[in-house]
């Protein structure tokens, strides 16, 4: 066979899996539709990733952390949940890092920095360096009891005992293998960008369920040009309401975002390009098939409200790589039905509750009906007073539970 393992998708998930398997003795091929330049120097895409302590520890073990650069890692010490508009009736719940054993709940790193670090760590010279084929698209996949066979748009055919899809939550490879997925389209779109502001964020992340909009703030390191406090902001609105904001001139956009944040951070100024993403959650009904598995967003496409998407993706890589290395060391089939079934049980067990709880939470907190507004106000107020609940949330945010 050509390889032991073929990974479809050289985004962060695919690259991290390849990095985790270096030194295992497995011959690995990474297939990616993008050009090599896009992998080596990924463009800013607006997304900032809130990494749990568990994810940070895993990235250190994989050797990614040094490639991120200290200036690109911002501490995320506390979290603040707000409900309702600015004023005395606004409910607040603070999740302090003091509720955990860590000096911070996690870290904030831009997605493009993670992509670059994952590429540099996975493709560093040395034993076990994977074969990377860029500009390649899979046109057909077929598996049997002996092997998996991929046909590429270039006309080449590759074989391996196992294929892993890491090609996004809307994975075409997963679909080609006949794995159905349930999609939850929330009918909303997220606007994401970086903004500088006059008042400090105190290294605190916000999740603000305001009337008619949802706002999130992720604390970044100060603006390198002005020294002002800087944050990644996320505004979620019904899709038809968002485009006019995307089209506003910069000065008007700054005034509008300052207003939408209730002037709680003082005047806000745009510090990056603006990006928009539809809000769609995806839950595949299976994670494996014959000589096939999925990881990363292809395994679970999370709603971003709990910031656990990439963190769950790393957990899938941790679980699958551990199983593959163990099988390889024992001389066993790395794509045996028993191994793949164990991986599926492990990762779906780790993600099912969080996925559906997040979906229910997002549904409740974006509803504008009076009963929903009253219920979420009660929940935030009760949560603020109930320390064991906040301690549980803090453990979930650090990923050390």
Residue 332: give its domain's CATH number: 3.50.50.60
pLDDT at res. 305: 57
The whole-number pLDDT of residue 386 equals 47
* C-alpha span between 38 and 46 (Å, rounded): 16
Q: Which strands make up the sheet holding 48-52, listed edge to edge?
A: 48-52, 106-110, 74-76
Alpha-carbon gap, residue 267 to 195, rounded angstroms? 10
Contact 399, 354 (CB under 8 A): no
Whether 363 is in a domain gets the answer yes
Tell me the residue range of the domain where 84 lies: 5-183+280-398
Q: How far apart are CA 240 and CA 256, in angstroms?
A: 17
Look at the pTM and tell me if it is higher than 0.85.
yes
Does the CA dihedral 342-343-344-345 come out positive or negative? Answer: positive
DSSP E strand boundaries for 198-316: 204-210, 213-219, 230-238, 268-270, 275-284, 288-289, 292-294
Residue with tokens 């075409």: 172
Q: Is residue 39 part of a domain?
A: yes
In a domain, 228, yes or no: no
Length of the chain measured in residues: 401
Domain membership of residue 110 (yes or no) is yes
Largest interatomic CA distance in the chain: 67
The token pair that represents 285 in the structure block: 């009904």
pLDDT range class, residue 139, cuts 50, 70, 90: very high
Q: Residues 311, 313, 314, 318: is their CA dihedral positive or negative?
A: positive
How many separate domains does the chain show? 1
Predicted local confidence at residue 401, as pLDDT: 57
Cβ-based neighbours of 361, under 8 Å, separated by 6 or more: 305, 306
Is 130 domain-assigned?
A: yes
What percent of the chain is modeled with pLDDT above 70?
Answer: 87
* Residues 323-379 pLDDT 10s: 999 999 999 999 999 999 999 999 999 888 777 777 666 665 565 555 555 555 555
In a domain, 217, yes or no: no
Interval 189-205: pLDDT, tens: 999 999 999 999 999 99
Average pLDDT, the chain: 89
Supply the pLDDT for residue 223.
Answer: 92
Is 294's pLDDT higher than 60?
yes
Residue 215 lies inside a defined structural domain of this protein = no
Contact 266, 197 (CB under 8 A): yes
Q: What's the Cα-to-Cα distance from 238 to each of 99, 124, 203, 249, rounded to whole Å?
A: 35, 43, 29, 21
Q: Does residue 170 form part of some domain?
A: yes
CB atoms < 10 A from the CB of 357, how many?
Answer: 11
Q: Helix count (H) and strand count (E) of the chain?
A: 12, 20
Best CA proximity match to 307, nearest among 235, 384, 230, 398: 398
pLDDT of amino acid 215: 92
**CA–CA gap between residue 236 and residue 145 (Å, rounded):** 46
């Amino acid at each position: 066979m050509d390889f032991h393992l073929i990974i479809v998708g050289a985004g962060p998930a695919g690259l991290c899996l390849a990095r985790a398997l270096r030194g295992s003795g497995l011959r690995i091929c990474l297939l990616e539709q993008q050009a090599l330049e896009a992998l080596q120097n990924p463009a800013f895409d607006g997304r900032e990733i809130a990494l749990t302590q568990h994810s940070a520890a895993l990235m250190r073990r994989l050797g990614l952390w040094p490639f991120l650069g200290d200036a690109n890692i911002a501490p995320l010490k506390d979290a603040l949940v707000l409900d309702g508009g600015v004023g005395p009736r606004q409910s607040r719940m603070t999740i302090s890092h003091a509720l955990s054993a860590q000096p911070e709940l996690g870290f904030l790193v831009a997605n493009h920095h993670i992509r670059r670090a994952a590429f540099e760590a996975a493709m560093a010279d040395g034993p076990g360096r994977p074969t990377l084929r860029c500009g390649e698209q899979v046109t057909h996949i077929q598996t049997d009891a002996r092997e998996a066979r991929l046909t590429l748009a270039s006309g080449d055919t590759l074989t391996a005992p196992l294929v892993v899809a890491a090609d996004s939550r809307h994975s075409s490879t997963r679909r080609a293998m006949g794995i159905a997925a349930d999609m939850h389209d929330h009918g909303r779109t997220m606007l994401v960008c970086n903004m500088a502001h006059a008042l400090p964020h105190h290294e605190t992340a916000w999740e603000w369920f305001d009337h008619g909009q949802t706002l999130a703030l992720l604390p970044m390191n100060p603006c390198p040009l002005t020294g002002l406090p800087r944050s990644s902001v996320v505004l979620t609105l019904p899709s038809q309401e968002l485009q006019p904001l995307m089209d506003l001139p910069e000065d008007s956009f700054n005034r509008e975002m300052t207003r939408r944040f209730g002037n709680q951070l003082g005047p806000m100024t745009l510090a990056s390009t603006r990006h928009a993403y539809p809000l769609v959650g995806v839950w595949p009904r299976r994670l494996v098939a014959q000589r096939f598995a999925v990881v990363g967003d292809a395994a679970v496409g999370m709603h971003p409200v709990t910031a656990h998407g990439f963190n769950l993706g790393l957990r899938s890589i941790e679980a699958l790589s551990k199983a593959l290395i163990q099988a390889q060391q024992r001389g066993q089939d790395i794509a045996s039905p028993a191994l793949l079934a164990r991986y599926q049980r492990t990762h779906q067990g780790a993600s099912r509750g969080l996925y559906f709880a997040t979906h229910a939470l997002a549904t409740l907190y974006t509803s504008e009906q009076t009963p929903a507004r009253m219920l979420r106000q009660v929940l935030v107020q009760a949560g603020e007073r109930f320390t064991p609940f906040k301690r549980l949330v803090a453990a979930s945010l650090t990923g050390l539970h």
